[in-house]
Structures are given as C-alpha cells and as structure tokens.
Amino acid sequence: MAKTEVILTHNIVGLGGESDQVKVAAGFARNYLLPQGLAIPLTGANKRRIESLKQRRAEREAHEFNTMNELAKGVSKLICVVKVKTGEDGKMFGTVTPGMIADELKHQFEIVLDKKKIHLELPIRSLGEHEVELRLHAELKASLKIRVESLNPATATPEAIAAAEAAAKAEKPHTEKRGRHADADKAPATEAKGDKKSKGDKKA
C-alpha cells in the first residue's frame, strides 16, 4: 500500500497533533485528510507553516489543560449514581462500565467526558460506593466517587431481619423497667392513703 507524508493541521486522535509530520496511506490522505483540511502535503513551502501550527497546538493544549483542571476540581466533589439490575441476593448482573459512568455524568451533571478517560483498575461488580480514576490529560488525573444502587425494589435481607430483631430485643428491658417504676410510684400513694385512714381511726 502506497504511503505519503503529510503535515497535520488539526489534532487527530490516534494519529497526531498540529505540526506533526506523519506517514499515512495515500488513499486516506487523498480522500479524507486533505479534502477535510486536516492535513497539508509535506512540501518545502508547507514546512514554513510548521512554526505557526506549533503555536496553534500549544494554545489548544493549554486551553484543554485549563478546562480539564477545572473539571478535576469539580468532579472531586460529586457523587455519580449508577443504577443497575440485581438478583434477589443483591448481586449485580454484569459490571459497571466506563460508558455507563460517562452517560450518567452527562445525564446528572451535564458533564461530557470521553469514556476512554474513565479508568477502571478492577471491574465494579458490587453495590455501594467506589472511586474511579479519571485520566483527563496526559499530566492530569482526578478521582470520581460513584454510588452503585439497585434498580430492584428493596427487599428484606437476612442481615436486615437480624438487625431488626436485635433492636426489638433491646427495647424490651426498657419497657419492663418503665412498668416497675410505675408500680413503685403507685405503691407509696397507696401507703399514704392507708396512713391517712389510720390517723382518721385514731381521731375517732
């Protein structure tokens, strides 16, 4: 396959950025890069444009870094909720994917982020809170907290039932104690009445 060299005039993911000289398939250059204005042929005249392209690239990258830096500060304070289907035992069907997180960021916070920037070191397979790494820029990373919740209606788990039973048992002694106090309070009143009656008898 014939190759040709071109100078990129725009950033193209997976290929390069402005001012980069790259070798590509001749057909790709002829049918796509050159007509779209994404590259120019590598000629002596065009080489003189490299400096201005480098300047444009530096400005673009600085802008992107500043934007990502602001985003990093913002997402560190957020909790992104991801809802998943689970079985009766609470176990998830499948895993949480970067695409799901990216969709929820857009839906909940109107943050548009390429799913490729969301890095999951290990698959997320359980409900609860997790932290994921965002690789926002070559020199910038951030942490996002996500909370995985079940779409299924809440069901009573064995742990919840046991906790409820323990709480009920803990309340019983307090009820009995209140009963004893109440009886104790009544007793002196009865005795007092008895004393008054005895004094009445003596007067008689």
Which strand (E) or helix (H) includes residue 41?
Answer: strand 39-41
> What class has domain 3-72?
alpha beta
Instruction: Give the whole-angstrom CA distance, residue 170 versus residue 182.
Output: 20
Q: How many CA atoms lie within 13 A of 197 on its CB side?
A: 6
Provide the residue ranges of all domains of the chain, joining segments of one domain with +. Answer: 3-72, 75-150
Which amino acid makes up residue 77? K
Whether the predicted model's global pTM rises above the 0.75 cut:
no
The CA distance from 5 to 17, in Å, is 14
Q: How would you class 18 by CB atoms within 10 Å of its CB: exposed for 0-12, middle for 13-18, buried for 19 or more?
A: buried
Could you list the pLDDT tens digit for every one of the 204 residues in the chain? Answer: 789 999 999 999 889 999 999 999 999 999 999 999 999 999 988 998 999 999 999 999 999 999 999 999 999 999 999 999 998 888 898 899 999 999 999 999 999 999 999 999 999 999 999 999 999 988 899 999 999 999 886 644 555 445 546 655 675 554 444 444 445 455 444 444 445 444 445 444
Q: What topology is assigned to 75-150 in CATH?
A: Ribosomal Protein L9; domain 2 (3.10.430)
